[in-house]
Structure 1
């Protein structure tokens, strides 16, 4: 009975925690993003401090590098977007033609006339929020919110890096004296997991940029670098990002007037890149730093989207990896850590990836 009661309390704790995360999302999302991203720069910050650079300046250098990386991505996207803007009129004509063909197909197959289709679209537009003015105001508000949250994330990152030792000492003061060594190990391991996952993900995205860029260029997609960078960036969102990026590329090819060969080429590029990513890049670059089984990987991504939207999907895997480490080191929660983790295999791996890893070990 005691075990059942304890399990109920734990489940109630998780339920109340997720409810709190949902209602305080506006405050917690920038804090969580900054905390996870700052873990990516801890090693670099330590290296700078070892070379007699003060912690404040080292933290500032890390933030500037982060901003520079984001600026480079934005520059690549805007540079290629300007090329797309030159062909905007032709793309509009192509989209108009496609919509006209779709209307004719609906009229012939479903029996919905063009007038009825237009009426349905107008009713949906009215129900969605009332005209172009409200849509413009909503868009402007969204852009302003993104800018404010970006500044907050950068400020929080700088402060997390600057006061990381102070925060770590606070965590250690929360545990009894005999467990401080174990708690220190847990804190170090949790930070290392998030750091390795994010650095591996960044390296994999860079490789995907190259592969998508080569593939889309060979197929003949206009502004191939733009769509390659877009598909790579969307890999930040597991499972959903790669499908979204490829769908946008396919729609752009249709708007550009691409033929069936170009569409097939884009899909073949996507499948080939996904094969290389799944069986080579992820095991070799990302590896198993976040030791979570596929079931809970999908569940936590869906739950993250429900609680925090896109930010929740991005943060879901590294945060669950940290939670698993905590569960593995707390006796009362080890069962949950076992449930989240992958099934142990007694067969020793001798695959190609393990041999390649052995060369670099």
Structure 2
């Protein structure tokens, strides 16, 4: 007997068990799956350039190598620019540390005068908090090591995925029955288009936001405004949550390097304006993915991605769910889940429609008996 013919509690138990098993496997194999996921998305992004080079009679392996070289040069340029800014920041680190210690001392005295908490007790509480954060620090170090592993494995995975693309596509077609070939073709085509438009749109959005952040911070006189503005633009790639963290960095820098609170207020106002422009103009027009995920689901999947794979999971969550939505929209039994992920909000829910129909039937006059 099929699962769908079983009672609801058996179906829900089977689905829940399958999800738990899937999540467990994904956590245990994170070191393998995360580089493969990044490589798959980047391979889809580089595929148009590889195809164009091949149309000019460039050998396949050389076309892939040229496309990867272009990507590496672009990434290296960004890292070189950021490293020069970080070097300047390092030169002023002792001065910033002294200023931060002075602000911390004033804050401790204010807490003692206002709430009656002794400075020694405050220091003990801070020490306990630091001791409790050692586990988090260890996870962060592991995350950094995992990121380095990704960097070294990515080129290999990307090259092999692009080289064996026909083999992978043939497998996807052959693993499903022939009558589903049209659906498989549509899913693959829409997935490719969605990933390409999403990643390219994000890169363009990041450059524009970095320029606006840096210009605002430089005009406000925040030290290392270009570096902090670029970091804020990178954090902005994490939907909804990254923007909040990005505001804290320039506010903290302004607090350490400047007297008063006018600069901090200016930073908050400037970032609110930039976020408004980003959310209402840049994202709808530039991040023009064919698959739109609503805000509620975006926040939930970003948090789930962080719980599953850390920072890497936060970056991968949105394009991964976009691919899932494409698949859900093509399978009849999963279409409700696709609608739940999407941003097409109906004006009325099904319950209201059913109640309205029943009311209309109730007020209709009954036909007289002939």
TM exceeding 0.5: yes
Q: Is 1:305 aligned with 2:340?
A: no
Compute the displacement of 1:101 (Å): 1.0
Q: Give me the whole-angstrom Cα distance separating, in 2, the residues matched to 1:126 and 1:187.
A: 49
Change (3 A) 1:128 1:288: closer
Cα shift at 1:138: 8.1
- Give the deviation of 1:90 after TM superposition: 2.1
SS at match of 1:292: coil
Q: Residue 92 of structure 1 aligns with which residue?
A: 97
Shifted more, 29-38 versus 277-286: the winner is 29-38
Look up the SS of the partner of 2:176 in the other structure: coil
Task: Give the Cα separation in 2 of the matches to 1:283 and 1:296.
Answer: 17
For structure 2, the residue ranges without an aligned partner over 5 or more in a row are 348-370
Residue range with higher mean Cα deviation, 303-312 or 109-118 = 109-118
Distance change >3 Å, CA 344–CA 120, structure 1 → 2: closer
Question: 2:69 aligns to what?
Answer: 64
| Aligned positions of 1:256-335 closer than 5 A | 256-335=257-336
Give the distance between the partners of 1:215 and 1:41, measured in 2 at CA: 33
Where 1:334 maps in the other structure, the secondary structure is helix
- Tell me whether 1:40 sits opposite 2:45 in the alignment: yes
CA distance, structure 1, for counterparts of residue 226 and residue 165 of structure 2: 38
Instruction: Provide structure 1 residue ranges, at least 5 long, that are not aligned to the other structure.
Output: 347-361
- Judged with a 3 Å threshold, the aligned counterparts in structure 2 of structure 1 residues 283 and 141 are, in CA distance, closer, same or farther, namely closer
User: How far did residue 172 of structure 1 move?
Assistant: 0.5
Q: Distance in 2 between matches of 1:138 and 1:273?
A: 32
| Pairwise CA distance, 1:126 | 4.1
Displacement of 1:181 in angstroms is 2.6
Alignment of 1:183-202 (within 5 A): 183-202=184-203
Tell me which of 77, 91, 107 is aligned to 2:82. 77
Say if 1:286 and 1:257 are closer, same or farther in 2 by CA, change over 3 A. same
2:158 matched to which residue of 1? 157
Structure 1 Cα separation of the partners of residues 15 and 134 of structure 2: 41
Shift of 1:122: 3.2
Residues 236 and 321 (structure 1), Cα distance of their counterparts in 2 relative to 1, 3 Å cut = same
- Once the two structures are TM-superposed, the CA of residue 15 in structure 1 deviates from its matched residue by 3.4
CA gap 1:139/1:329 in 2 versus in 1, 3 angstroms: closer
**Which residue does 1:2 correspond to in 2?**
5
Q: Is 2:197–2:288's contact at 8 Å kept on the other side of the alignment?
A: no
TM-score in terms of structure 1 length: 0.87
Provide the alpha-carbon RMSD of the alignment: 2.4
Alpha-carbon separation, structure 1, partners of 2:215 and 2:114: 40
Partner residue in 1 for 2:366: none
CA contact (8 A) 1:190 1:322 kept: yes
1:43 counterpart SS class? helix
1:22 is displaced (CA, Å) by 1.9
- Whether the 8 Å contact between 1:90 and 1:256 is mirrored in structure 2 is no
How far did residue 298 of structure 1 move? 1.5
Q: Contact conserved, 2:255 with 2:261, CA < 8 A, in 1?
A: no
**In the alignment, what sits opposite 1:343?**
344
1:226 matched residue in structure 2: 227
Q: Does 1:106 align with 2:107?
A: no
SS in 1 for 2:53: helix
**1:225-264 equivalence runs, <5 A:** 225-264=226-265
Give matches, 1:194-213, under 5 Å: 194-213=195-214
